[in-house]
Amino acid sequence: MRHLHRSSPSRKVFVFFNTLFMAALAFLCLAPVIHVVSASFSDPTRLFANTGILLYPLGFTLKGYEIIFGNDSLLNGYLNTIYYIVAGGLLSTTLTMLGAYVLSRKKVLWANKLMLFLMLPMLFGGGLIPFYLVVTALGMYDTRWAVIVPGAVQIFNVIILRTALREIPDSLEESAKMDGAGHLTIMTRIVMPLAKPTLAVIILFFAVNMWNSWFQAAIFIRTRSMFPLQLILREILVQNDASAMIKNSVDAATKADLYKPLVKYATIVATTMPVLFFYPFAQKYFVTGVMLGSLKG
């Protein structure tokens, strides 16, 4: 009976249209990515005249990548963003771990009240002007600290990690204390290894957020040598200013306009691919970490 049900005409029709619908949906999701990648390898003259969606390069060329990687601003933006991710990630992970560990201990005085106090900024914000005044008053204006410090602790990440740490049996902590271990030893040698999936998710959240961040740098950073990658990308795409990259590689002004679309597509690919390659390696921790941090509070 089960075999007849699976091979019935209505079942076949459903499977056919369902497959067709999912294939169309997958194409709609992949088409923009395929178009951008194909355009980044296309001949600039044919790309400039093209008005449709590309599924393959129009005359394969690496000229776009030669232009952007031969420009110091993009490479400098890469290095700055990597610095912000590494330095900010170390600071953010350390502070988040310290805060979550303290709040996850059941005998901490006023732990619930402190947690409520920390959750208030998630609901109410002071606004951009007070934020700007605070960062400026602390002397972080036009420094790398203005990008790293203000967003170092995200309360959402603290809540996820705190919930995950509460799932660790109390017997492990009690056994460690009987052996003479202090809180720092318990946190680094017992708690952190057990919370590795959740820590990996928090690091992934921070890295992706920092990689895509540009607004904070646009407000506080004035020295171009400290611009992150996404701020360089914003100049090229939003402000339509790719002349700084093209002028050293292309001579005539009319030819420079011809190369602008190619440079834009190549820059998008160059700034997006690192995250796309990094995500699959961290994906195995993603579901486990989120589930551990969402069981119960």
Residue 201 domain-assigned?
Answer: yes
* CATH code where residue 142 lies: 1.10.3720.10
Give the mean model confidence (pLDDT) for residues 128-156.
90
Say which range, 10-19, 37-46, 189-198, 283-292, has the weakest mean pLDDT.
283-292
User: What burial class does residue 5 get, using C-beta atoms within 10 Å of its C-beta: 0-12 exposed, 13-18 middle, 19+ buried?
Assistant: exposed
What's 219-251 look like in SS3?
Answer: HHCCCHHHCCHHHHHHHHHCCCCCHHHHCCCCC
Residue 250 domain-assigned?
Answer: no
Residue 276 domain-assigned?
Answer: no
* Domain that includes residue 168, residue range: 76-226
For 29-70, the pLDDT digits (tens) are 888 888 888 888 888 888 877 777 888 888 888 888 888 887
Residue 265 domain-assigned?
Answer: no
Q: What is the pLDDT of residue 220?
A: 92
Residue 170 domain-assigned?
Answer: yes
| Contact in structure between 261 and 47 (CB atoms under 8 Å) | yes
DSSP assignment of 89-143: HHHHHHHHHHHHHHHH-TT-TTHHHHHHHHHHHHH----HHHHHHHHHHTT-TTS
**81 vs 217: CA distance, rounded Å:** 11
Would the pLDDT of 3 be above 90? no
Would the pLDDT of 79 be above 50? yes
Q: What is the pLDDT of residue 64?
A: 81
Residue 278 domain-assigned?
Answer: no
Quick one: CA dihedral 52, 55, 57, 58, positive or negative?
A: negative
Residue 221 domain-assigned?
Answer: yes
Count of domains observed in the chain = 1
Residue 58 domain-assigned?
Answer: no
**Residue 1's pLDDT band (boundaries 50, 70, 90)?**
very low
pTM, rounded to two decimals:
0.76
For 190-228, the pLDDT digits (tens) are 888 888 888 888 888 888 888 888 888 989 999 888 999
Give the mean model confidence (pLDDT) for residues 267-276.
81
Q: How far is CA 75 from CA 71, 228, 230, 247, 266, in A?
A: 7, 10, 12, 17, 14
